[in-house]
């Protein structure tokens, strides 16, 4: 056999190449079509973010082996995701059902995970829908942290804030501030705050001093941000009192409730449509004591109910 014959015999048939390409293209198209039909007929639902495969800290510790810190971080991330998704959800039936179990697992895997105790307690204590509205679980989480690290005065301080701000239990708040102030390294003002809380619990001015002190001494930016929010809420409450007094003056002069802020402006009782500290206009609402409230869309909503009061002179 000559070299030319051998060369021609080894050359692939062009028609066969074309056929192979066409068949391959048809097979790929068929596979894609089959996948589309499968997805449409057997659609997979997203996994429920609240599903908890583990609820026992002891079991989680055994399974995590030497990766407990990593597992703790993962559960902490899940807790943040659950909190954020629930808070921003528009579902009226939404709940923070998995928040405490996730925080409990994270802190069981890493008993020194300070961020989970402190932020978690705030997430739990905030009234719904901003938080879970479970101050009992917030206190339980902080007690757990203090049992793990008795020298961590911040946990006792946070417990005092929970009792003061959300439970309005000023006796318990004072005791927790006193306990926090007795721990080595705690700021001096905690013991002073314990006495002030017991004597003037529920007063806006004492609350303002408390949050300002926390803002000025906090090392964490989230704690600072939360303190700044509480101070802004107190400022909004004072402004609502001042506006309510102007609404009362308008009613006395005209015999009717103002239809809008322009009516008060025309009467020279205000200079412009008033905004709260977050930049959202206040709302005139005759169903509210004093006739003025904060907007539901405001970043300051809801205001702490223990400080709401009827129209009158603002706190000094």
Assigned domain for 169 exists: yes
The residue out of 195, 220, 245 marking a domain boundary is 220
Assigned domain for 303 exists: yes
Q: Rounded to an integer, what distance in angstroms lies between the CA atom of residue 230 and that of residue 121?
A: 16
Assigned domain for 316 exists: no
| Cβ-defined contacts of 302-308 (< 8 Å, 24+) | 302/127, 302/130, 303/233, 303/236, 303/237, 304/165, 304/230, 304/233, 304/237, 306/168, 306/202, 307/202, 307/204, 307/207, 307/234, 307/237, 308/237
What is the span of the domain harbouring residue 27?
Answer: 3-35
Residue 242 has pLDDT above 50, yes or no: yes
The residue out of 220, 251, 283 marking a domain boundary is 220
Q: For the chain, how far is it from start to end, CA to CA, in angstroms?
A: 113
Whether residues 152 and 280 fall in one domain: no
More confident residue, 232 or 221: 232
Whether residues 208 and 61 fall in one domain: yes
Residue 315 has pLDDT above 60, yes or no: no
The residue out of 187, 220, 253 marking a domain boundary is 220
Q: Which residues pair with 281 in a beta bridge?
A: 275
Whether residues 92 and 202 fall in one domain: yes
Residue 120 has pLDDT above 80, yes or no: yes
Whether residues 248 and 173 fall in one domain: no
More confident residue, 257 or 209: 257
Assigned domain for 137 exists: yes
Residue 278 has pLDDT above 60, yes or no: yes
* Residue 282 banded pLDDT, cuts 50, 70, 90: very high
Whether residues 25 and 127 fall in one domain: no
Assigned domain for 136 exists: yes
Q: What is the pLDDT of residues 44-65, one digit of tens each?
A: 444 455 555 555 556 665 565 6
Residue 276 has pLDDT above 80, yes or no: yes
Whether residues 71 and 207 fall in one domain: yes
Tokens, residue 92: 């009226």
Whether residues 210 and 158 fall in one domain: yes
Whether residues 76 and 188 fall in one domain: yes
- Count of domains observed in the chain: 3
Q: Rounded to an integer, what distance in angstroms lies between the CA atom of residue 155 and that of residue 135?
A: 14
Give the per-residue pLDDT at 2. Answer: 54
Q: Please, what is the average pLDDT of the chain?
A: 82
Whether residues 16 and 67 fall in one domain: no
Query: Does the pTM of the predicted model rise above 0.75?
Result: no
What value does the mean pLDDT take over residues 5-23? 60
Give the per-residue pLDDT at 192. Answer: 81
Assigned domain for 225 exists: no
Assigned domain for 46 exists: no
Give the per-residue pLDDT at 313. Answer: 41
């Amino acid at each position: 056999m000559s070299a030319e014959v051998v060369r021609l015999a080894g050359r692939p048939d062009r028609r066969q190449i074309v056929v192979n390409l066409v068949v391959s293209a048809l097979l790929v198209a068929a596979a894609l079509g089959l996948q589309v039909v499968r997805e449409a007929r057997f659609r997979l639902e997203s996994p429920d973010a609240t599903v908890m495969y583990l609820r026992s800290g002891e079991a989680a510790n055994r399974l995590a082996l030497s990766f407990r810190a990593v597992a703790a971080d993962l559960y902490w991330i899940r807790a943040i995701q659950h909190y954020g998704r629930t808070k921003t959800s528009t579902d009226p039936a939404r709940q923070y059902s998995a928040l405490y179990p996730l925080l409990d697992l994270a802190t069981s895997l890493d008993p020194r995970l300070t961020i989970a105790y402190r932020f978690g307690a705030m997430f739990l204590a905030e009234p719904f829908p901003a938080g879970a509205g479970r101050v009992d679980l917030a206190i339980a989480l902080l007690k757990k942290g203090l049992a793990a690290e008795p020298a961590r005065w911040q946990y006792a301080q946070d417990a005092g804030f929970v009792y003061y701000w959300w439970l309005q239990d000023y006796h318990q708040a004072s005791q927790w501030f006193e306990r926090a102030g007795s721990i080595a390294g705690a700021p001096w003002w905690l013991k002073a705050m314990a006495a002030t809380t017991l004597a003037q619990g529920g007063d806006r001015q004492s609350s303002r001093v408390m949050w300002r002190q926390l803002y000025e001494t906090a090392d964490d930016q989230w704690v600072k941000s939360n303190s700044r929010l509480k101070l802004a809420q107190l400022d909004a409450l004072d402004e609502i009192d001042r506006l309510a007094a102007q609404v009362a003056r308008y009613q006395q002069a005209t015999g009717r409730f103002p239809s809008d802020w322009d009516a008060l402006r025309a009467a020279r009782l205000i200079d412009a449509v008033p905004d709260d500290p977050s930049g959202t206009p206040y709302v005139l609402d005759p169903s509210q004591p004093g006739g003025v409230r904060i907007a539901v869309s405001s970043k300051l909503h809801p205001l702490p109910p223990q400080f709401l009061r009827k129209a009158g002179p603002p706190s000094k």
